[in-house]
Structure 1
Amino acid sequence: MNEAALQQELARLRTELEALRLANAALERQMSRDAERTDEMLRALESHGNALREANQRYQSQSNFIQRVMDSTGALMIVLGPDGRLLRINQQCAQELAAVDAEPEPAVADAWLHPAERQSLAAELGSLPWPVHSALFETVRCRGDYAAEHRLRGRDGRYRHYWLKVSVQHNPQGKEEGAVICATDITVLKQQQERLRRSESLLKEAQHIAQLGHWELDLASGRLTWSEQVYRIFELTRTEPPHSYQAFLALVHPEDREQVDRAYQASLANSQPYDIQHRLQFADGSIKWVHERSQNYYAADGRPLRSVGTVQDITEQHIVDEQLRLAASVFDNSLNAILITDAKAHILKVNRVFSEVMGYKPDEVIGRKPNLFKSGHHGKRFYQELWSSLKREGKWQGEIWDRRKDGELIPLWQNISSVRDSEGRVICYISVFYDLSEQKQSAEHIHYLAYYDALTDLPNRQHFQERCEHSLERARRDRQTLALLFLDLDRFKHVNDSLGHPIGDELLRMAGQRLKDSLRQGDTVARLGGDEFIILLESHPSISDTEKVAAKILQALARPFQVQGHKLEIGTSIGISLYPDDGEDYTTLIKHADLAMYQAKERGRGNFQFFEAHLTERARERLFLEGELREALNRGELQVHYQPQYSLADGRLIGAEALLRWRHPDRGMIPPDKFIAIAEDSGLIVPIGEWVLRTACHQARIWAEAGKGFQRMAVNLSGAQIERSDVLAAVGRILAETGLAPQHLELEITETYIMRQAERNIQVMEALRNLGLTLAIDDFGTGQSSLSYLKRLPVDKLKIDRSFVMDIPQDANDSAITRSILALGHSLRLTVLAEGVETAEQLAFLQELACDEAQGYYFSRPLDAANFDGLIFG
């Protein structure tokens, strides 16, 4: 390298060295400045740290001061953070309240609240749009300041009552920083309040129970004040109290008012207590009794200042006193004997009736025991049960036999009651009793009347039913048979009606005796009523045995009875049912025996019939027809048809007989022989008969006024109509309603019914004939008319029964009977009409005998009104 190059290199190096020196100097200056800044910063940090330490010391000092302040108060202090969680509690709180588990989150004051109160706060708070840690805190935030009574859980797990005041805390900028709870234990206060409330309640209850109230009268101002109970006693509301003494007097009963005022004024004047009982009268007229007491207070100069007193409702006590006085009067004047003993059964007191019943004077029994009257009639067990009932139930009643002073045994109905004190100890026994002698005699008589027929001295229906049911129980148990015989007396009603009830009663007595004499030992006969009797055959009777008893009864009753100079022949019909073949209970057996008896009557009377199953069907059919017949008239199912009647002298149509027909909606035309008897038995014949008579009379007027020679309408009159209604009035009323002239009406009455009560029926017939109508004897020849009665009957016509006409002239007997009836009728100047003419031979025979009139199928079947018009107007 040359020197020039070397010089250049040295120059470059010197330049770089200078540059380095300058840079180093600059760096040293910068480092010097940075060191100064670092020292300044460190000094500042040290100063700030000192300030922080001083602030922390002040905060800790302030916190300790706050804690000391919180701990120095007797109340519980609780500080909550801005989210409602616990920040701080004082020492009192830590000592009194239960420890709160802060895991997994810091605890809230709600943990100390009673569960019911937590639920109540949460329910009132409702749903909020942010997380709720404490319902109490959120309630305080909503309300601002909060004060309420709550129960908080203590360290012992029990809840005590606290008064909580809670306020929300804000920083200077108004931001919520939390809340402070101050809780004061008021448990003792609550207990005192509860005791006071209970004490006041007990006082009110005591006053209410005792019906006692207090009042005060300020004599200077005249103002009267009352307690609540006085309002109840005087039945006033607090809006209407008497504010003065005079207003109070107005509530006193008018008759007691002057006495009350005089007593009170005297107490003021004499400085004496006021004590009086008087009445109150209310607007509705009701009355109460009250007891008033008062004490007066006076000034130093003797001036009365005020009166303080009580008023008590003694209405019940007054009633009790009256009742006691009444009880004493009742005891002395009772119609029953009364005996009172002490707890050891020593007699303390007896009344007047006791002496009359038992014969002892009071001084003869007082101090002694009731076993003085022991009769020996009862065993030891009887008295043991009596005393056992008294100890167990406090009473005993029943029949007891005692011995009077004169030694006579006497039945008594006795009621013994024990009287106990408030602790349940027996203090006395009261016995009330009366003599049963007359009642026993009456009871025996009543039993006889209840179970025996007074006329025949036989068991009655009730007695027979009980005996039969007992027999059925034995028969079921022992698998035996029984037989029931149901009977009534044939022709008894005729005897009763014609000869009178005394004769009928004597006949029933004699028939009952014959029945008793006809039975085996152990069998029972009873009278059910009227002329119906029933017999129970026990001891396993066979059908043969039953038949023999029935035949014996028929024979016994077939013999004539001599009753007060009358020779009476009646006979009987018997229906028989057997257990168990015909029924297993009393009701079924008696029903079936009754049905069998009617079957016996239908077969000619004077016989017996065993029950047959088909009779039940006939009974059902009868019940059905009776039920339907009751509605048939209202439903328009009944019709009247008319059978023409002709004069045999010239063949003219002269009249018609009205005949009842029944067209049932389901069964069609029902024959009269199936429902007329039902109508008569049920009484329906009366309204139905009047309807037929009214319909026939209305139609007869139309035909009679047509001028075609129609002379009369014949209408059957049932015996039941005469017996069960005022037939005379009914006929007169219907003639007036329809406007039919009486001479166009002919009433037909059967010969059999007329002869039941001939004398009575003759009077009825005469009254009917006096109306101007004509009368005919229907079915003549089938009854047993006496000629002496026949000539007295106020009739105009005899109708020969069709049973005599149907076989003439072939049957010599029927021809002779018909000839005799015609001769008898004509001799009595009566018109004679033949029923049931069906052939030309019958007509020719009747014309030959000069029979006046005829009707029957030979001339025409019965026609309805429209078709009958064809005969008249055609």
Structure 2
Amino acid sequence: MPDNDHYLKQELDWLTKTHSDIILFFESGFNDGLWYWDLENPENEWMSPRFWELLGFDPKSKKHLVSEWQDLIFPEDLEKALENFNKHCADENYPYDQIVRYRHSNGSTVWVRCRGLAVRDDSGKPIRLIGAHTDLTALKEAQQAVIESEFKLRSFVNSTDDLITQVDASGNFTFLSSSCQKYFGLSAEDCLNRPALDFVHPEDRQSTHEAFTQWVASAETSFSYVNRQINVSGEVYTMLWTINAIRNDEGEIISFNGIARDVTETEQRKEILARSEALLREVESLADVGGWEVDLRDNSIYWTRQVFEIHELPVETSIASPLEMSFAINFYSQDSQAELEKAMAKLVENGENYDLELQLITAKGNNIWVRTKGRAVYEKGDIIKLTGSIQNISERKRIESHLRETQSLLKKKLSRESVEKKAALHELKLAAEVFKNSLEGIVITNTDAIIIDINQAFTDITGYSRNESIGQHTRILQSDRHDEAFYKRLWDALNSEGAWAGEIWNMRKSGEPYILRLSISAVTDTDGKATHYVAVFRDITEMKASEEHILHQATHDALTGLPNRTLLKDRLDVAFSHAKRSGNKVALLFIDLDDFKKVNDSLGHAHGDNLLRECAKRLKNILREEDTIARMGGDEFLIMMENVHSTEEVVHLSHRITQKMSESFSIGGDDIVVTSSVGIALHPQDGKDPDTLIRNADMAMYRAKQSGKNSFQLFTRSMHQEVRHKLSLENSLRKAIENNEMEVYYQPKIKTSTGKVYGLEALVRWIKPNGQIISPAEFIPLAENIGLIHPLGEQVLKKACIFTRELKQKKGYNLQMSVNLSFNQFQQSRLAESVLDIVSETKIDTHNLELEITESAIMKDIEKTINQLNNLSEAGISLAVDDFGTGYSSLSYLKELPIDVLKIDQSFIRGLPESTKDMKIVTAIQSLAKSFEMQTVAEGVETLEQYRKLKSLGCDALQGFFFSPAIQESNVIDFLNSHQP
């Protein structure tokens, strides 16, 4: 024995003869107690009190004999401990060191490391044994918690439908989430290193580039915009992007992180609104009664409500689907139809506008005259649409006919005396003026504003008949909307300039006010003196209502009628001004419905839209009259509260909102229950401008969701700190990978038939230079999001291969090393070449390497998976399906895959042996594996009962805390020495 061992041996011999205080001296060097066993004199057995306290017993109730622990240790661990004891007694170089489990007095399991040293006589015979206990329970529990956290986070990340990207400073993709397959039609691997603009719709590339460049120059941290993406199949998606700039210590941008959400439906609604507005503007520019549009791409026709009225079709059909061209043409007489078709042909061929007067037969059989105009709409030099107007000119045609008759009569009167001639000429002038403007309301007065003549349009608009009007003063038409000063200015203009034009409010005979566009001109005699006034007017009440409607649509949500973000920001600006004067606060509540997407997915968008309308009504009923509620889009609402005196007011309202919104809604016969998450921000402390206040309220809302949903959260400055923490962690992770600081831990895998270690699973760990341990649940998703999973995965694979070689060459252990591959790694086109390069570089045999990939990752791209796995299998590398049973594998595909091992997910192991359902699942997987000539490995084995049951079911191999957690590389040899294969 070495000198130190010899000295210790002498000390132990002396210890048996001295006072117990000496034992306390030795015990103070250990955390959880000493024990002593006299092999020659069993009555000298002794266990320290600290050991019994560890197991929850009163030391005074124990005799402190070694034999007492045999009733508390797990039977299989006792067997292992006795085996190691015998080996140690037989060979002083064989260490007495193992991890065993004890039953605590409360029934729980206590993990203990038990180490011992035999004291031998001169002949080498062991005569006494002294040892120490170390409590490992907390370590075991912490390791299990880390594994569970990793699983939960991985499940969450895999569920998102949003597109997550990273772009370098040159504009090329360095990372994309799996949803790029939907939006780009390519895998993430195929998109890497390609310019992001390549996937933007060609028509949006210039504007996207300009907006992006302007944002970068502004030095703002984040940026949101909407553009269209087009995939390789030609499908177009409208995406809402949120971009964040990542800068180095010098403030230079090194990359951009982006999240995109599919807002195609929302943008389509905006496009429909814009189309309606454009049509209205075209109609107004042509000064017509009704407007129409022909889309040459599908030959569909759109009519305004007035066009249906001219055709004497029911007004209700004005919102019908697009019409056919033949339907519109058939209303015209045969001659007019030919003339119109000829004009439209010229318009389509060379863009030649037309202005025609045609005869039309209405749906009720009435013959009328219409004036129709048409012009072409171009896009990139091509005619894509025809637009124009149509108006009923039957009345004008009647007046023109009457004018011709009058002119004929006047010619006969020219031969009469000069006075009669002058009178006839004057009458002709008046008649011509009236007839010229007969399509609109016309009134003729004398210089005292007494009505002397009107036309039919006047009666139609005002409600006053000819008999009721003539002889009356024009004041019968006036409303109370204008003061005396207004009318004075009007008459001053007439007297000085001989004309006046503008918009004016009048009142119909019924008392209904209406607005008209009025033009008044003086009729003068040969001396230039005014003798009459002619007023021509047009009722523009509906047009004004349309303008107000368009303005309302621009500032309000189309679905709920609530103010939109634009109007809310305007009101916030006003509220901030009021708050500055009053000293009160302005509160902003950001409300998001929890799990609203499930309603759309399960019940359809119609139910979802109706639910949003009902939510808006319920929220309005909760609020004060002076509060503003707005819809941001999707399932997000904003509430602005003015004149807030205390935070308690806002908290009280938020509590009411979460309570009321959680009550069920009755939608289409279904009872729907949704909850809401509310974020609160206060002006001025949480934001001095609308955008900042909205952003901070949004941030608080997401914190409420993270806290379990159906709750509210006040904005705090610590939320900004979390963002900074994430950026700091990202930079540290980059450096750690660059500096090769990541560590690899190894969890043993046990052959069921022999109970020996046959392999190890490599698991990456990150311990920072300052000793801080970063959970894999935190840094692995981060590495995937920022495009570092590939270099990290290569580091882990290389370290694991090097360690495999060292175990074989230096220690004689020929083990199989299992390494996990993420889905992103598996999408590399050169995966097999990359793996084989590392195998060649580290000089290990391919049969010593096993690669694991999850079942769900395999099924994401089955065709590519089969090719990748075949390449690896042909090279001699073992392949395992991790977490089998948790995905959605197709057996038809599974039989085609070169899989060697199915790893049974721990979720099916945890309930054994009590759960009959888990038992059946495990049995089924065993049968499936046997049918396909595959091996099975059960993960997460923690108890003796699970071990025995899995062994009886025929499971080939096991791993889990029952055998060992993942351990450092430096501790692997010690573990293997105690579990020699």
TM-score scaled by structure 2? 0.38
Point out which structure has higher relative CO (alpha carbons under 8 A, 6+ apart): 2
Which structure has the larger Rg over C-alpha atoms?
Answer: 1
TM-score scaled by structure 1? 0.42
